[in-house]
């Protein structure tokens, strides 16, 4: 057997309090399942490290497996656990796409934590069963873009839909400035999305970019962004084009006075979910996955599961896709639901 230990990112503990490692174990189990790697004895372990998750495998992890595991949200460093408990540091190859700073520069109230977003993206990549070579990640309620930046960092194509036009503008301004400052090759264009009788539904902002000129020439990554109501996102996003959706449902709590007084945001989370699911399903490819976080104080997992099932999704109701509930603050008890378009 081969024994490994992941040193937990210290930032994680602060954010999820005492449940950080527990939910990271579930995320890792999902990632290993996606990689077809059999793991044993995975869990928190006392190894003389501040906080660590240990696991064992029959065969040594390959360099690609190591690289993929280094993208888990808890990851800070990985060691092979040698006889007598000696820890040998391993060096996974870097991902080679955009740096983490893309997701860390913007700070704002209501931002979904980047590490948690990474955890959801990993669950989505594991749960989705599509054959796309480069996967397309959509956030159908993208706020100011945390999921989209995480997708670009992970080498994916990304699509964002957000009802608040001001936030869509902010994403555009930020991404163009970021790419310019980092001297990343990029090309932008604008298109109109129209409905019946040519009626305009939304403007679509498009960026093609890559970390180098060579990568751009070979295959640029693509970002598409639209200010639209998620309930009609299938009118502005190509049908059957999305491999995974990752989103954070409005929490039904006040992040700022403007958001709370906006009538468009006043709908209950369950109502919004039920109304949005048919359009989300249309956008997804068969086998595509939805990973949605929400506040258990305003929506129960069972209610969300029923809504997904009523819309024709298959809900992932077994470990490692359940058991993510954790306290964020006094008014938010966050959970995750994962479902697949069958």
Ligand X SMILES: C[S@@+](CC[C@H](N)C(=O)[O-])C[C@H]1O[C@@H](n2cnc3c(N)ncnc32)[C@H](O)[C@@H]1O
Nearest to 221 by CA among 106, 102, 105: 102
> Which 269-298 residues touch ligand X, going by CB under 6 A?
272
Please identify which residue in 22, 67, 111, 185 interacts with ligand X, judged by CB under 6 A. 111
Name the minimum Å distance from CB 127 to ligand X.
19
Number of residues that bind ligand X (CB under 6 A): 20
Q: Is 248 in the site for ligand X (CB under 6 A)?
A: yes
Which residue number is nearest to ligand X in terms of Cβ? 143
Buried b (16+ CB within 10 A) or exposed e, 2-12: ebbbbbbbeeb
Q: Which residue in 150, 162, 243, 274 binds ligand X (CB under 6 A)?
A: 162
Q: Buried b / exposed e across 17-42, counting CB within 10 Å, b at 16+? A: eebbbbbbbbbbbbbbebbebebeeb
Judged by beta carbon, residue 65 or residue 150, the one nearer ligand X is 150
142: tokens are: 């993208």
Which of 3, 118, 144, 186 binds ligand X (CB under 6 A)? It is 144
Task: Select 4 or 167, whichever has its Cβ closest to ligand X.
Answer: 167
Stretch of 50-58, 184-192, 243-251, 307-315 lying at the interface with ligand X (CB under 6 A):
243-251
Q: How far is the CB of 69 from ligand X (least distance, A)?
A: 25
User: What is the x/- site pattern for ligand X, positions 223-242, by CB under 6 A?
Assistant: ------xxx-----------
**Residue 250 contacts ligand X per CB under 6 A:** yes
Side-chain-side CA neighbours of residue 141 (13 Å)? 24
Q: How far is the CB of 144 from ligand X (least distance, A)?
A: 4
In this structure, what token pair is assigned to residue 289?
């996955």
Among 73, 103, 164, 298, the residue binding ligand X under the rule CB under 6 A is 164
3-state percent helix, strand, coil for the chain, nearest multiple of 5 = 35, 30, 35
Instruction: Give the nearest distance from C-beta 204 to ligand X in angstroms.
Output: 15
289-312 in b/e form (b: 16+ CB < 10 A) is bbbbbbbebbbebebbbebbeebe
Tell me the per-residue interface mask from 185 to 204 with ligand X, x by CB under 6 A, - otherwise: --------------------
CB of 228 to ligand X, least distance (A): 7
For residue 291, what are the contacts with CB-CB under 8 A and spacing of at least 6?
A: 120, 121, 123, 124, 127, 244, 245, 246, 247, 336, 337, 338
Do residues 69 and 75 touch, judged by C-beta distance below 8 A?
A: yes
Greatest extent of the chain over all pairs of C-alpha atoms, in Å: 73
Binding range to ligand X, per CB under 6 A, among 10-18, 144-152, 301-309, 327-335: 144-152
Distances (CA, A) of 38 to 2, 60, 119: 12, 11, 20
Q: Which is nearer to ligand X, 92 or 250 (CB)?
A: 250
Instruction: Output 231 or 285, the one with its CB closest to ligand X.
Output: 231
**Judging by DSSP bridges, how do beta strands 87-90 and 75-81 pair with one another?**
antiparallel
x/- contact string, 251-270, with ligand X (CB under 6 A)? x-------------x-----
309-338 residues near ligand X, rule: CB under 6 A: none
Instruction: Give the separation between CA 120 and CA 337, rounded to whole angstroms.
Output: 10
Which residue ranges make up the site for ligand X (CB under 6 A)? 110-112, 141, 143-144, 146-147, 161-164, 229-231, 248, 250-251, 265, 272
């Amino acid at each position: 057997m081969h024994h490994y230990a992941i040193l937990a990112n210290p930032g994680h503990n602060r954010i999820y309090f005492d449940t950080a490692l527990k939910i990271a174990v579930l995320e890792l189990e999902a990632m290993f399942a996606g990689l077809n790697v059999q793991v044993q004895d995975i869990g928190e372990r006392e190894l003389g490290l501040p906080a660590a998750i240990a696991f064992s495998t029959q065969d040594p992890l390959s360099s690609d497996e190591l690289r993929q595991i280094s993208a888990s949200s808890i990851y800070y460093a990985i060691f092979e656990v040698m006889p007598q408990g000696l820890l040998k540091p391993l060096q996974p190859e870097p991902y080679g796409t955009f740096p983490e700073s893309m997701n860390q520069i913007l700070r704002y109230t209501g931002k979904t934590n980047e590490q948690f977003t990474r955890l959801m993206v990993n669950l989505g990549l594991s749960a989705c069963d599509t054959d796309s070579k480069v996967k397309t990640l959509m956030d159908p309620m993208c706020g100011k873009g945390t999921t989209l930046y995480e997708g670009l960092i992970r080498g994916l194509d990304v699509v964002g839909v957000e009802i608040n036009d001001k936030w869509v503008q902010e994403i555009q301004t930020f991404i163009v400035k970021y790419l310019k400052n980092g001297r990343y090759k990029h090309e932008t264009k604008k298109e109109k999305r129209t409905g019946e009788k040519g009626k305009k539904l939304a403007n679509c902002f498009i960026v093609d970019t890559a970390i180098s000129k060579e990568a751009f020439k070979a295959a640029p990554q693509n970002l598409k962004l639209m200010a639209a109501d998620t309930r009609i996102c299938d009118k502005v996003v190509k049908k059957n084009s999305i491999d995974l959706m990752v989103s954070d449902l409005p929490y039904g709590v006040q992040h700022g006075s403007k958001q709370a007084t906006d009538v468009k945001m006043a709908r209950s989370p369950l109502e919004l979910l039920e109304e949005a699911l048919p359009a989300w399903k249309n956008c997804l490819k068969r086998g595509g996955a939805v990973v949605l976080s929400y506040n258990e104080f305003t929506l129960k997992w069972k209610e969300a599961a029923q809504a997904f099932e009523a819309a024709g999704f298959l809900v992932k109701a077994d470990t490692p896709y359940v058991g993510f509930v954790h306290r964020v603050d006094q008014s938010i008890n966050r959970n995750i639901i994962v479902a697949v378009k069958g």
